[in-house]
Structure 1
């Protein structure tokens, strides 16, 4: 009995030692993995079709980030459902830092207020990395539409109730920006859904729809050649790049303001040191002189900040959007 007890205790000690060494090895392996990150290309999911503001921004920032990370960043456009399809794919990706998602005000803060069946929870299923930029957006119409100002557009829409059309991705910021405009201006304009801003812009230029709201920089050159007419911008204040145009609030809809912003998130469970590495590369990119120059030309305002700051922004914006959607009685069909 005594010998058996000694052997039992010896086996138990060996088992504990083995468990300790195993845990130490796992922790050491994880630390080594984080230290070596990134050791291969990173995929950036842009949940919009090519050519939209999120896509353009992702390509500008991704190219520079590659220099700081020492690995290529590959753009993966996954448009659909106003960006929900792509963000959901990102949320369900392995939490190893090799999937970066270009989230935005539509997919991270508007979607929860508009879609009770949203397949992901921005606060639970995703981890903030850094805010990236606020994009100047504008309300533009086809040049054949007899409206040269916001007030004229409102008068025209009231005289042709439900006859005018606007194009926007379903559940996108453009969609909500127009719905808020309709509510505040007291007009009825039919929504024609698209997979994103780029295809809506194409149809606006072709005269298939009457108006849209989206990236100012993508529409500015067309406005100069008369292929479309920009009436106003959506933000509370004019940006330097679009200073010649009034805001919608200045043009006749007092109190109107809708911001378009974008930022990086990763799947929940991504190690903190990997998040910190991605955040550092993002902030360095946003402070790079060549990136700043491109941003200024396009009317983008670099934001940056820590993961904690971006997380606080997402939480506050979710609450704000819920109030806006409820107050304006916005229901996206």
Structure 2
């Protein structure tokens, strides 16, 4: 091939390579700007029926209405929600796989689980704090106690002075342990795959107490199948206004809320995150959303993702101290 012709071919190849590289570089941005252009999966690491599942489905419906695309909830329960959380951590970071996680999945699993396959601080992009809520000290309707003080006394009559406590997640274990610090009440912790199964266990008499998320128990308390004895926040729950706080039951200063958040895999494009944050921020301020959440005992959150990142870090430190005091080690 003549030298001139060869140079022309090389220039053409070089230009083609540069164009391909430029297209590849801008493809994610173009895709992000069109987001969402196909259904989005929202993963929940628990069985249906608990707060994370309820909130995920509420947010999914609202996002579908606002962004004109399908948002589908998929439950992946097991291993204190770490199966579902790890699935999302390793998913393609394109905004089409999201996670609704309990505070436990992001702040207590790292403390209580050895060889956790994901890092809450490094593997996720915070989108929004969906809501905070009390846990409710709940017992079967048939348990012979009328209030929280009687439950503390009843615990002392049990074998080894312990109540069988059903729990869906590690964070609830640590909240129960803060009650141990305050009251001296002790527990045998029995792990379930979600709050729904714990409620079933309470009604069936398999366990004696559940320190559970309010949305999971409100209906059964109102229906008379369960008794709510106290809430773990510093103020009463709007969903259960007649139920005293632990502080009101005689243990001043006690205030231990739980929360749920929406996150995406690390590396999700910023335009996608911005779209989701804007949409969720609007959803959390809508009157019907606020009314629905408050009826379930939830206080709506916000889309301050930087504050959520700080909360994850500070809660890990807080729960680490509780675990050390309780002598709980990672397993």
- 1:184-242 deviation per Cα after TM superposition (whole angstroms, max 9, x unaligned): 32233212221111101011011121110112233233223331111000112223333
Q: What is the CA-CA distance between 1:80 and the residue it aligns to?
A: 0.7
Q: What is the CA-CA distance between 1:10 and the residue it aligns to?
A: 7.1
Q: What is the CA-CA distance between 1:15 and the residue it aligns to?
A: 5.9
Contact 2:133/2:257, CA 8 A, preserved across alignment: yes
**Pairing 1:289–2:287 present:** yes
Q: Which residue of 1 aligns with 2:50?
A: 52
CA distance in 1, matches of 2:256, 2:188: 20
User: What are the ranges of 5 or more consecutive residues in structure 1 without an aligned counterpart?
Assistant: none
Q: Which residue of 2 aligns with 1:164?
A: 163
Structure 1 stretch displaced more, 173-182 or 230-239: 173-182
Structure 1 stretch displaced more, 208-217 or 8-17: 8-17
Structure 1 stretch displaced more, 124-133 or 20-29: 20-29
Q: Which residue of 2 aligns with 1:181?
A: 179
CA distance in 1, matches of 2:202, 2:330: 21
Q: Which residue of 1 aligns with 2:311?
A: 313
Q: Which residue of 2 aligns with 1:129?
A: 127
How many pairs were matched up? 329
Structure 1 stretch displaced more, 244-253 or 265-274: 244-253
- 1:154-198 deviation per Cα after TM superposition (whole angstroms, max 9, x unaligned): 111123234531111252x22222222224322332122211111
- 1:54-101 deviation per Cα after TM superposition (whole angstroms, max 9, x unaligned): 111111111111111111111100111121111111111111100010
Q: What is the CA-CA distance between 1:282 and the residue it aligns to?
A: 1.1
Contact 1:52/1:196, CA 8 A, preserved across alignment: yes
* TM-score calculated relative to the size of structure 1: 0.91
Structure 1 stretch displaced more, 54-63 or 219-228: 219-228
CA distance in 2, matches of 1:323, 1:168: 20
Instruction: Kindly report which structure 2 residues correspond to 1:225-264, keeping only aligned pairs within 5 A, or say none.
Output: 225-264=223-262
Q: What is the CA-CA distance between 1:261 and the residue it aligns to?
A: 0.5
Q: What is the CA-CA distance between 1:105 and the residue it aligns to?
A: 0.7
Over 3 Å counting, the alpha-carbon distance change for 1:243 and 1:170 in structure 2 is closer
Q: Which residue of 1 aligns with 2:93?
A: 95
CA distance in 1, matches of 2:66, 2:99: 18
CA distance in 1, matches of 2:215, 2:50: 10
Structure 1 stretch displaced more, 27-36 or 6-15: 6-15
CA distance in 2, matches of 1:206, 1:61: 31
Contact 2:218/2:296, CA 8 A, preserved across alignment: no
Contact 1:150/1:252, CA 8 A, preserved across alignment: no
Q: Which residue of 2 aligns with 1:154?
A: 152
Contact 2:132/2:260, CA 8 A, preserved across alignment: yes
CA distance in 2, matches of 1:11, 1:60: 58
Q: Which residue of 2 aligns with 1:303?
A: 301
CA distance in 2, matches of 1:148, 1:331: 34
CA distance in 2, matches of 1:285, 1:126: 22
**CA RMSD, aligned part only?**
2.2
Out of 55, 70, 73, which is 1:72 matched to? 70
Q: What is the CA-CA distance between 1:25 and the residue it aligns to?
A: 1.0
Q: What is the CA-CA distance between 1:38 and the residue it aligns to?
A: 0.6
CA distance in 2, matches of 1:8, 1:259: 72
CA distance in 1, matches of 2:136, 2:81: 20
CA distance in 2, matches of 1:316, 1:20: 46
Q: What is the CA-CA distance between 1:14 and the residue it aligns to?
A: 5.5
* TM-score calculated relative to the size of structure 2: 0.92
Q: What is the CA-CA distance between 1:148 and the residue it aligns to?
A: 1.7
Contact 1:162/1:190, CA 8 A, preserved across alignment: no
Q: Which residue of 1 aligns with 2:38?
A: 40
Q: Secondary structure at the match of 2:22?
A: helix
Over 3 Å counting, the alpha-carbon distance change for 1:204 and 1:94 in structure 2 is same
